Amino acid sequence: MTISFPKDIIKGIFSIPKEKDSPYAKAKLQRIIIQGEEVIQISKYTQQQVFHENISLDKLDDYLNNMLDNHFRSLELHTKEYLYAYKISSKGKLLTNKKQQKHEFVVLEHNKVKKYLIEEGMIVPPLMDLGIMTADGKIVKAKFDKFKQINRFLEMIEDSIANETKLKIIDFGCGKSYLTFVLYYYLTSIKKIDCQIIGLDLKTEVIQHCNKIAEKYRYDKLKFMQGDIAQFRKEKNVDMIVTLHACDTATDYALYYAIQMECRYIFSVPCCQHEINFQLKNKNIAPISKYGILKERFAAILTDSIRANILEYFGYKTQVLEFVDWESTPKNVLIRAKLESKKPSSVLKEEVEAWMKQLGFEQTLYSLCFKTKES
Ligand SMILES: C[S@@+](CC[C@H](N)C(=O)[O-])C[C@H]1O[C@@H](n2cnc3c(N)ncnc32)[C@H](O)[C@@H]1O
């Protein structure tokens, strides 16, 4: 039988899979507008993942008929005015129903539906174990800022890695590893990149916990290790390092590692840049240093600008970006760097040195890169 479905569908859901071992537990429909064109976005849910596809309105009848013929016994469709129900009985008989809609439904602009690469409702299984996501894919309210940061971090990475098919990544100072898990899930399950990730942190317990979760989901190429970034072994062929709020000089050790290992990509969101703040006593900055908060911010800006300049010196094309809004976290600066040329430019080093001398401070990344070698 071929059903002619209403043309003004706004949303809907397929449920009750026909086969016990069906790959999909349910599928949702949502009318959205992409670049001015109305399409129906289908989100097919397996136990662990969600797959999206957009169906043009002229192909929708065929698509829905095929889904009812082959995959699901039940379909509910909402239009602005009506709720339509289609059920296929165990004997293969079609039962239909049509009811007046209780609420008015609206069509969403695409950017309102999909703000993030990982949307709310999209099940990322380890995030449930980590207490950031509920079983139905909702983000725990208290964790929403973290969720937002992780999504923005992913977007920043996604922007840079077109054409990559294989990546080896280290997340330094991974902590509870929300980012590490989402990154692994996104790159392997959604982008289909052959991806290996190591998460490193000082804390033994979190590392053990994260390894258990990785094993539970058979994330074979995701490993967590306990250790100090400063002493971390020299891994071969690391393509990317990421850090999200690695404390104070931990960020410097991570950047130094990337420079030494000639990692092609760096994504680093620094945190609590105390090092220079504690040293700044110079009377040249008296108008700033008498206000604690300004001194702290000035020190953070100095720290990150030195880091960015040193990366440039080592041939990284470097950007310093605001990656989330200030309200989500004031630690919202991302250093994004891509290795382009291996020829250091001495001017940048001299500029950094002049600045350090003038204001009278030492900086860990600078010392790691130049002091030990020169002394
Ligand atoms: C603020 S947490 C951030 C955790 C995680 N990246 C996130 O955004 O949720 C900083 C983490 O860096 C780790 N850390 C600090 N210094 C480190 C070092 N030298 N080596 C390894 N991990 C370090 C801490 O143990 C902590 O878990």
225: CATH? 3.40.50.150
Tell me, yes or no, whether 31 and 143 share the same domain. Answer: no
Tell me, yes or no, whether 103 and 168 share the same domain. Answer: no
Which of 16, 27, 79 is closest to 52 using CA atoms?
27
Does 244 contact ligand 1 (Cβ within 6 A)?
yes
Tell me, yes or no, whether 325 and 359 share the same domain. Answer: yes
Tell me, yes or no, whether 231 and 165 share the same domain. Answer: yes
d(CA 363, CA 296): 15
Ligand 1 atom nearest to CA at 171:
6
Is 11 strand, coil or helix? strand
The reply to whether 293 falls in a domain is yes
d(CA 288, CA 277): 12
Does 130 contact ligand 1 (Cβ within 6 A)?
no
Tell me, yes or no, whether 247 and 328 share the same domain. Answer: yes
For residue 271, report the distance from its CA to the centre of ligand 1, in Å. 10
Does 228 contact ligand 1 (Cβ within 6 A)?
yes
Tell me, yes or no, whether 82 and 161 share the same domain. Answer: no
Tell me, yes or no, whether 184 and 308 share the same domain. Answer: yes
Domain count, the chain: 2
The reply to whether 143 falls in a domain is yes
The reply to whether 120 falls in a domain is no
Tokens of 6: 């209403």
Ligand 1 atom nearest to CA at 206:
27
What sign does the CA torsion over 259, 263, 265, 270 have? negative
Tell me, yes or no, whether 87 and 132 share the same domain. Answer: no
**By residue range, what is the domain housing residue 360?**
125-374
Q: Which residue, judged by its Cα, is nearest atom 24 of ligand 1?
A: 173
Tell me, yes or no, whether 235 and 299 share the same domain. Answer: yes
The reply to whether 34 falls in a domain is yes
Q: What is the mean pLDDT of residues 138-167?
A: 90
Tell me, yes or no, whether 339 and 227 share the same domain. Answer: yes
d(CA 171, CA 179): 9
Does 175 contact ligand 1 (Cβ within 6 A)?
yes
Does 174 contact ligand 1 (Cβ within 6 A)?
yes
d(CA 320, CA 145): 21
- What was the pLDDT predicted at 124? 83
- What was the pLDDT predicted at 109? 47
Does 182 contact ligand 1 (Cβ within 6 A)?
no
- Is a pLDDT exceeding 70 seen at residue 201? yes
d(CA 136, CA 324): 26
- Is a pLDDT exceeding 90 seen at residue 331? no
User: Which of 154, 169, 174 has most ligand 1 atoms within 8 Å of its beta carbon, as the pocket-test mutant?
Assistant: 174
- Is a pLDDT exceeding 90 seen at residue 118? no
For the chain, the average pLDDT equals 89
Is 284 strand, coil or helix? helix
Tell me, yes or no, whether 109 and 132 share the same domain. Answer: no
The reply to whether 253 falls in a domain is yes
The last residue of a domain, from among 113, 139, 158: 113
Helices 204-216 and 178-185: crossing angle, nearest 10°? 20
For residue 12, report the distance from its CA to the centre of ligand 1, in Å. 43
Burial of 221 (0-12, 13-18, 19+ CB in 10 A): middle
- What was the pLDDT predicted at 229? 98
Count other C-beta atoms under 10 Å from residue 57's C-beta. Answer: 14
When pLDDT is cut at 50, 70 and 90, the band that residue 81 belongs to is confident
CA 233 to the chain's CA centroid: 26
Tell me, yes or no, whether 108 and 197 share the same domain. Answer: no
- Is a pLDDT exceeding 80 seen at residue 115? no
Is 317 strand, coil or helix? strand
Query: What residues does 99 pair with on adjacent strands?
Result: 83
Quote the strand ranges of the chain, DSSP E: 11-17, 26-34, 37-45, 50-56, 72-78, 82-88, 94-100, 108-109, 166-172, 194-201, 222-226, 240-247, 265-271, 316-322, 333-339
Main-chain dihedrals φ then ψ at residue 233, nearest 5 degrees: -60, 155
- What was the pLDDT predicted at 79? 86
pTM greater than 0.75:
no
Does 173 contact ligand 1 (Cβ within 6 A)?
yes
- What was the pLDDT predicted at 103? 58
